[in-house]
Amino acid sequence: MSLKEKAAITGIGETAYTRNSGKSVAALQLEASLKAIADAGLTPKDIDGIIPYSNSPVVAEDFITNFELPDLRFSATTPMGGASCVAAVQCAALAISAGLCRHVLLPIGRNGASQGRIGQRVAEMPQFRLIGEHEMPVGAIGPAQLYAPMARRHMELYGTTSRQLAEIAVSTRANAILNGNAMMTKPITVEDHQASRMISDPLRLLDCSLESDGGAAIVVSAADAARDLRRQPIYVMGVAEGHPGSPSAITQRPDMTRLGIAKAAPKAFAMAGVTPADIDVAEIYDCFTYIVLCQLEDIGFCRKGEGGPFVASGAIRLGGKLPINTHGGLLSQSHMVGMNHVVELVRQLRGEAGRAQVADAEMGLVTGYGDMGDGSIAIMRRG
């Protein structure tokens, strides 16, 4: 049995993305959820499945209570850090295809800027216990430090340059400026990137994603139910997750330049019955510029080692061969753990992406990346 076309995204919602929401995390998630549910033409009481974000204090019980859900038939979490949201699309499609539920809510929300810094959060997570024991005492603490050796090795093996990474930051910023709900609205150049302060070489400040307050949510519905709803359904064609060797410490990973998505992408393409050449637009998880470059290779948009020239060619810009992160991504719109990437893909495939619309976008993909290397991918098409 395949999950192809068993489910569709029927509703999307986002709050404003800010540095200080002044709202509780629960309120942010409920606000985004209400928008997504209304977008689908549903009411909260229609929700019969929920997949809350695993690193969030807001749990299924909070949604049952706040929405007085009469009969929640399915709840789960997909604890894969930044790969969680797209992995949750797979989980929702699985539950729907098994007949457990019809309308699954996928909420996320956080006060990532105004409360709790990323370095503190990492230290508290059980999946990073080995990093806590062996790497933090020698000074490897922040994600930028943990990821930098992957980028450095890629540079040494393939000649990838910081200016090539800059192209990802620059084109993503240009897209954010078109978005209307992006935290970063000032254009940047490659020279600005090169002048930004070094965080952990080779990663500069402008290689790093934002810390954000806000919420985002989607509704995933059974394909047969989606056809009768308010909006054009966006069908899930192929979906998969992949876990790298040594998921708990990058240091011990057999191939530091390959991520979990290298295992997931072929499965998702096979399920969808398409190839990378069929993709019109891609929303690629961008916690750091290098992670985008590595995923482009691992997905098969270019060969391993050729990500630098690929991005520098302008391929990833609006109007290029493969426009990516048309909303501004985690780098320039908001760090909403990639749920904002799912929302943007749906907008693109509905033809509602405004000034960032990719002409005639029919087929697209969205990825997640998290927990030091886990990957997730969903290929979607407009109905």
Partner 1 sequence: MAEATYSKPVPSPTQESKPFWDGLLAGKLVLQSCGSCGRIRHYPRPICPACSSFEVRWVEASGRGKVHSWTVTHHPFHPGFKGEVPFTLVTVDLTEGVRMQAPLRGADGRALAIGMPVRLVVERPTPDLALPAFVLDRAEDRP
Number of residues that bind partner 1 (CB under 8 A): 34
User: According to CB under 8 A, which one of 98, 100, 130, 195 is a site residue for partner 1?
Assistant: 130
Q: Which residues, 260 to 289, sit near partner 1 by CB under 8 A?
A: none
Cα–Cα distance for residue pair 307/293, rounded to 1 Å: 5
Question: For residues 100 and 123, which CB has a smaller minimum distance to partner 1 in the complex?
Answer: 123
CB-based contact 310:282 (threshold 8 Å): no
Assess contact for 285 and 330: CB atoms under 8 A: yes
Q: Are 355 and 348 in contact (CB under 8 A)?
A: no
- The verdict on 144 binding partner 1 (CB under 8 A) reads yes
- Interface with partner 1 includes 139 (CB under 8 A)? yes
- Could you give the maximum distance between any two Cα atoms of the chain, in Å? 57
**Min dist. Cβ of residue 136 to partner 1 (A):** 4
Work out how close the CB of 164 gets to partner 1 at its nearest, in angstroms, rounded to a whole number: 18
Q: What string marks each residue from 234 to 253 as x (binds partner 1 by CB under 8 A) or -?
A: ---------------x-xx-
Pick from 149, 266, 300, 309: which binds partner 1 (CB under 8 A)?
149
Within 62-121, the residues that bind partner 1 by CB under 8 A are: 119
The residue among 141 and 229 lying less far from partner 1, judged by its C-beta, is 141
Interaction residues for partner 1, span 164-203 (CB under 8 A): 197-203
Helix (H, G, I), strand (E, B) or coil at 30: helix
- String marking each residue 201-220 x if it binds partner 1 according to CB under 8 A: xxx-----------------
Q: Which of 2, 127, 145, 196 binds partner 1 (CB under 8 A)?
A: 145
- The backbone torsions φ and ψ at residue 62, rounded to the nearest 5 degrees and listed phi first, read -65, -35
Concatenate the DSSP letters of all residues of 311-348 into one string. HHTTTTSTTSSS-B-TT-IIIII--STTHHHHHHHHHH
Residue 373 is a binding residue for partner 1 (CB under 8 A): no
Rule CB under 8 A: say whether 22 interacts with partner 1: no
Distant-in-sequence, close-in-space partners of 291: CB < 8 Å, separation ≥ 6: 147, 259, 285, 369
Q: Which stretch binds partner 1 (CB under 8 A): 96-104, 146-154, 181-189, 228-236?
A: 146-154
- Of 99, 137, 319, 360, the one binding partner 1 (CB under 8 A) is 137
Binding of partner 1 at residue 156 (CB under 8 A)? yes
Judged by beta carbon, residue 202 or residue 328, the one nearer partner 1 is 202
Q: How far is CA 82 from CA 17, 307, 372, in A?
A: 18, 21, 9
> How many CA atoms lie less than 13 Å away from 30 in the CB half-sphere?
18
Q: Which is nearer to partner 1, 132 or 351 (CB)?
A: 132
Question: Applying CB under 8 A, which of residues 86, 148, 361, 378 lies at the interface with partner 1?
Answer: 148
* Cβ atoms < 10 Å from Cβ of 319: 8
Nearer to partner 1, 34 or 148 (CB): 148
255 binds partner 1 (CB under 8 A): no
Minimum CB separation from partner 1 for residue 191, in Å? 19
Nearest-Å Rg of the Cα atoms of the chain is 19
Beta strands in 83-123 (DSSP E): 103-111
CB contact at 8 A, 88 and 377: no
Shortest distance in whole angstroms from residue 145 CB to partner 1: 5
**Nearer to partner 1 among residue 61 and residue 133 (C-beta):** 133
Selection from 18, 295, 346 nearest residue 168 by Cα: 295
Q: In Å, how far are 58, 112, 126, 251, 333 from 115, measured between CA atoms?
A: 15, 6, 20, 29, 18
Q: In 3-state terms, what secondary structure has residue 90?
A: helix
> Which among 39-47, 144-152, 300-308, 334-342 is the span making contact with partner 1, rule CB under 8 A?
144-152
Smaller CB separation from partner 1, 18 or 246: 246
Question: Taking a C-beta distance cutoff of 8 angstroms, is the pair 130, 249 a contact?
Answer: yes
CB of 150 to partner 1, least distance (A): 7
**Residue 39 in contact with residue 275, Cβ under 8 Å?**
no
Binding site for partner 1 (CB under 8 A): 119, 123, 130, 132-142, 144-145, 148-150, 152-153, 156-157, 197-203, 249, 251-252, 256
